[in-house]
Amino acid sequence: DTGVSQDPRHKITKRGQNVTFRCDPISEHNRLYWYRQTLGQGPEFLTYFQNEAQLEKSRLLSDRFSAERPKGSFSTLEIQRTEQGDSAMYLCASRNLAGEAQYFGPGTRLLVL
């Protein structure tokens, strides 16, 4: 399967703990995006990278959130000191600069207890 992959698919954690999610984009896709989706809503943009450079961050991305793409391939999204309000589906997408469409991974569902 050459689509976007995300790991883990599910994560349950206690409030205050740190969590890290990984995204592997479609091979050779330059741009990688993170979105968050809560129940009944559409995904909301968090941040995106072109190769290893983080080009934009949403105001939704508080200082407890940090994303990296150190080698311009996979990316990680870390949430420190998780809160119950962080419970959501975290989605990763990628696209090639030659095209417009973003292709999404299966998401990581986070539950903070």
Partner 1 sequence: GESVGLHLPTLSVQEGDNSIINCAYSNSASDYFIWYKQESGKGPQFIIDIRSNMDKRQGQRVTVLLNKTVKHLSLQIAATQPGDSAVYFCAEKGDDKIIFGKGTRLHILP
| Contact set with partner 1 (CB under 8 A) | 4, 6, 31, 33, 35, 40-45, 48, 55-56, 58, 91, 93, 100-107, 109
Nearer to partner 1, 72 or 106 (CB): 106
Cα 38 from Cα 80, distance rounded (Å): 19
| Minimum distance of partner 1 from residue 101's CB (angstroms) | 5
Nearer to partner 1, 6 or 82 (CB): 6
Nearer to partner 1, 82 or 102 (CB): 102
Q: Which of 103, 95, 51, 100 is nearest to 73 (CA)?
A: 51
Strand partners, 23: 6, 75
| Minimum distance of partner 1 from residue 41's CB (angstroms) | 6
| Minimum distance of partner 1 from residue 70's CB (angstroms) | 21
| Rg of the chain taking only CA atoms, in angstroms | 13
Q: Which of 99, 53, 60 is nearest to 79 (CA)?
A: 60
